[in-house]
Structure 1
């Protein structure tokens, strides 16, 4: 793949994910869409589409081959429930109780959580750059959530709790999948993880239990965007971009996710952001840029790769 195509895929994918969060908030606010139903539906449909893409490709045997071995089947189920489902649900719940901008930005605490995990598990030392990243992220969260005033939080407590849980889930999601991704195509892992998570949540809110007749045509377009563009294409395009760009470049441009979420939340949904919330936004996006541009051995992605044997599946 050419570099230009790689840039197109990562920019488009990252932008779709951020906008998808804002569109989800629109569905929650204006059409009273249940968060459980939306997460269930988007996981099942997006997972099916990703596996279909893999079946059309060259390594179609991987789609069902992953279930033939207990050593990969059991971790896949855990990944689908504790990783994929947790990431998707906590993110959507944070949007429902707050807004897409805050939810997306809090989810970007995941790299900081990974650094802390690697240090506490004695797999890496905490260097000066890591101290700076953690401090910058904490300052960013403080301004984002308080708008500079300790006495009054700018978003609800539930939004904060779900947002932090989203960051924790994203960190687990990143670390736990390492060995599986070494053996199978990422589309297979993520596709099945989405279906597993969607099936599990179906027991709480089956996707067919929905008053579809009450929804206007506009709501259906929003649903299609969230499921197809904000979930399936967003992930698929990011993976495709790695064929033309380095992982660092894709990660750097992936910071367009929180940026697009913030911009669409403010200018489309008309949610007001105070001056200090913009300062917090810049701080957290700065964390993503620093991690993506890091070139030494303390880079988070390098740490994970170097220590992958020590992670238990």
Structure 2
């Protein structure tokens, strides 16, 4: 692989992560512009429209997305991915943004890789490596600073932000683990498209879209379009495509651009005020994830073993 290909992969992954961060800022702006827009409604619309677009793209490139439903195992897997992966990683994230702000919500969600490590520790009896253990301690300290601002007897953010943010971090873990056996066989377009569409349709059980009556002006419609196209469809495919040029460990490191972009754009365009504790705590969490990513080959081996057992 040439140096140009490697640079292309880095650029694709970096831009994808920045777009994810910007989509959180766009959601925060939309909530402020129209208080009638709920995280549930936004998540439903985003998932259904983006899912349909991705499935049309999959059919267009000959991926035959309907094949995924011809096997009981893959069908069950995609439903699990939708409900246990897509729903928490998106709905819970938007809830955290609604109750707080995009930078804090994105930083807390960034704890997802450590949820994966804890999963293997608790359920697979796999002890963390030294890098993982150090990363967990650093991430815990960073989270503590954001949540308490140094005052351990009180919370500096609302409990709702913390709870929804941690649930979205769990969603990051399940969103990573559950679809892995499907991606190599069916491709990211089909798997992501069905995951989004199934999740969006299932959320209508909570509150059907047709029962919600909203009036959106052109500015609000533009924000919605940014969230769907530039915050979902494009970055999902850019990030998946980047893995053809760079290693997953490198891509994981570049994921730090997401909370950085959310912070910078929130400060510049939404006048969000962040304290030194927020910035330092966020930097610690980003640093901790980088520590984990540098030792991610161990985690990759574990994931590969799990994949092998599931397909046997």
Q: Compute the TM-score of the two structures, normalised by the length of structure 1.
A: 0.92
**Cα gap change, 1:34/1:312 in structure 2, threshold over 3 Å: closer, same or farther?**
farther
Choose 64-73 or 303-312, whichever is displaced more: 303-312
**Cα gap change, 1:254/1:127 in structure 2, threshold over 3 Å: closer, same or farther?**
closer
- Output the CA distance in 2 between the equivalents of 1:24 and 1:51: 24
Displacement of 1:311 after TM fit? 6.0
Match among 1, 24, 34 for residue 27 of structure 2: 24
Displacement of 1:134 after TM fit? 0.8
For this pair of structures, how many residues does the alignment match?
Answer: 308
Do residues 36 (structure 1) and 37 (structure 2) align?
no
Do residues 245 (structure 1) and 246 (structure 2) align?
yes
Query: Partner of 1:64 in structure 2?
Result: 66
Query: Partner of 1:260 in structure 2?
Result: 261
Do residues 231 (structure 1) and 232 (structure 2) align?
yes
Cα shift readout 1:16-46 (whole Å, capped 9, x = no counterpart): 1001001101111221111111000000011
Displacement of 1:54 after TM fit? 1.1
**Cα gap change, 1:311/1:163 in structure 2, threshold over 3 Å: closer, same or farther?**
farther
Displacement of 1:276 after TM fit? 1.5
- Output the CA distance in 2 between the equivalents of 1:83 and 1:312: 20
Match among 15, 18, 30 for residue 15 of structure 1: 18
Query: Partner of 2:280 in structure 1?
Result: 279
Match among 46, 63, 83 for residue 85 of structure 2: 83
Displacement of 1:4 after TM fit? 3.4
**Cα gap change, 1:158/1:127 in structure 2, threshold over 3 Å: closer, same or farther?**
same
Please say if residues 40 and 205 of structure 1, whose CA atoms lie closer than 8 Å, have aligned partners that are also in contact: no
Choose 47-56 or 241-250, whichever is displaced more: 241-250
**Cα gap change, 1:9/1:21 in structure 2, threshold over 3 Å: closer, same or farther?**
same
Gaps of 5+ in 1: none
Q: Compute the TM-score of the two structures, normalised by the length of structure 2.
A: 0.92
Gaps of 5+ in 2: none
Q: What secondary structure is seen at the aligned counterpart in 1 of 2:246?
A: coil
Cα shift readout 1:108-162 (whole Å, capped 9, x = no counterpart): 1111111111122235222322210110110010111122222442221101001
Give the number of the structure whose residues are more often helix, by fraction. 2
